[in-house]
Amino acid sequence: MTKRNSFYSPTIFEQVNKENTALLNDYILELKSKRKSEGTIYQYASDIKMFFCWAFNNLNNKFVLDMKKRDFRRFFLELQESGASSARINRVQCSLRNMLEFASEDEDEYDYPINVMKNIKGLQKEEVREIHFLTDEQIDIILNYLINKKQYQKALYLSLSYESAGRRNEVFQVLKDGFLENNKTNIVQGKRGKKFQLLYFSRSKEIAKLYFEQRGSDDIDSLWIVGKGEDRRPAQYETLYNWCMSFRKILFKETGELIEFNPHSFRHSSLTNYENGTHYVLKELGKEKLELNVLKTLANHSDISTTQSYLPNKDAEILAEAFGI
């Protein structure tokens, strides 16, 4: 079990205080009513479930609304000692704080006047993780490996992510219906509640044909599935992350390069390669490259400065060219 989920256990969660699970279920309904994305709800629920499992083992399965500030502090200390990053701990704090705030606002259902999490400060953020960009050739190497191994679903995830520049959460929301007949996905929800469609091109459609033939017929709407036969079910959000980790191993096996990229690297790499003229889709479109304002629209950014921040810093290259270094 990874450090990220070191306290969670499905077996333990089944024994968690029913008042805790009832509160979580109420909170999930509240998030759905506010049209939070599936990925966001999944993350919040996972964080809270992990805490409830820890409380089962360490706080005698106490009802969360009866817990004191010291109980939460003890949990976050243990989470920190388990190796969780500051960003991870701060997100878990946010998940719990928001659920408790929901309880404090619902006076008819819960007698919880003060949210004790409000005064627990988050950890100082660590240095921003290095962004790893993949070249068009490196994407090709991974894709060709997956296709040769007939791992068509994983290949489609990579191809769709790279062509659309979509975030993992957005790609996770794509449905299978109509995928082969269009070049735009169903409407997905991105950050700050934005709704839009993701663009994709011929390679993703060709891979999708192979995938759908391999997958066969089922009544699952999601483009992404796990399991076989009667155990077949929609993939979870975390599944796409695990696929990405397997892509690291493939690239290392095929090239000897160990690059610690993550799902967001596909978005960075897509925008960068569209901008520098190396993205394979540009040949299909008959274009040399895409301008920054087009990339802003593709990435569904509100501000062009955000799009610029996704691209590699070129200051050193500009100076080298200017001074002939």
pLDDT at 70 over 70: yes
Distances (CA, A) of 165 to 140, 276, 280, 286: 16, 15, 13, 19
The arithmetic mean of pLDDT across residues 70-76, rounded, is: 92
Same domain, yes or no, for 83 and 190?
Answer: no
The arithmetic mean of pLDDT across residues 225-247, rounded, is: 93
pLDDT at 16 over 60: yes
Q: Say if 271 falls within a structural domain.
A: yes
Same domain, yes or no, for 115 and 141?
Answer: no
Q: Say if 130 falls within a structural domain.
A: no
Residue with tokens 């500030």: 69
Q: Say if 268 falls within a structural domain.
A: yes
Q: Say if 125 falls within a structural domain.
A: no
Give the list of residues 6+ apart from residue 167 with CB closer than 8 angstroms, or none: 190, 191, 263, 264, 267
Give me the pLDDT at residue 191, please. 80
Give me the pLDDT at residue 35, please. 86
Same domain, yes or no, for 77 and 147?
Answer: no
Q: Assign 3-class secondary structure to the chain.
A: CCHHHCCCCHHHHCCCCHHHHHHHHHHHHHHHHCCCCHHHHHHHHHHHHHHHHHHHHHCCCCCHHHCCHHHHHHHHHHHHHCCCCHHHHHHHHHHHHHHHHHHHHCCCCCCCCCCHHHHCCCCCCCCCCCCCCCCHHHHHHHHHHHHHCCCHHHHHHHHHHHHHCCCHHHHHCCECCCCCCCCEEEEEECHHHCEEEEECCHHHHHHHHHHHHHHCCCCCCECCEECCHHHCEECCHHHHHHHHHHHHHHHHHHHCCCCCCCHHHHHHHHHHHHHHCCCCHHHHHCCCCCCHHHHHHHHCCCCHHHHHHCCCCCHHHHHHHHHCC
Same domain, yes or no, for 141 and 89?
Answer: no
Please identify, among 88, 119, 150, the residue that sits at the C-terminal boundary of a domain.
119
Same domain, yes or no, for 37 and 74?
Answer: yes
Cα 183 from Cα 198, distance rounded (Å): 8
Same domain, yes or no, for 204 and 281?
Answer: yes
Two tokens at 171?
């790609």
CATH number of the domain to which 81 belongs: 1.10.150
Please identify, among 62, 94, 119, the residue that sits at the C-terminal boundary of a domain.
119
Cα 221 from Cα 209, distance rounded (Å): 16
Same domain, yes or no, for 69 and 98?
Answer: yes
| Structural domains counted in the chain | 2
Single-letter residue type at 275: E
Same domain, yes or no, for 140 and 113?
Answer: no
Please identify, among 119, 145, 162, the residue that sits at the C-terminal boundary of a domain.
119
The model's pLDDT over 255-311, given as tens digits with 9 standing for 90+, comes to: 999 999 999 999 999 999 999 999 999 999 999 999 999 999 999 998 888 888 888
pLDDT at 34 over 90: no
The model's pLDDT over 102-137, given as tens digits with 9 standing for 90+, comes to: 998 876 788 888 898 887 876 555 445 578 899 999
Same domain, yes or no, for 262 and 149?
Answer: yes
Name the band, by pLDDT with cuts 50, 70 and 90, for residue 234.
very high
Same domain, yes or no, for 108 and 141?
Answer: no
Give me the pLDDT at residue 38, please. 87
**What mean pLDDT, rounded, does the chain reach?**
89
Same domain, yes or no, for 143 and 291?
Answer: yes
Give me the pLDDT at residue 184, please. 97
Residue with tokens 């769709």: 160
Domain that holds residue 27: 3-119
Of 42 and 85, more confident: 42
Same domain, yes or no, for 98 and 203?
Answer: no
How many CA atoms does the CB half-sphere of 107 hold within 13 Å?
2
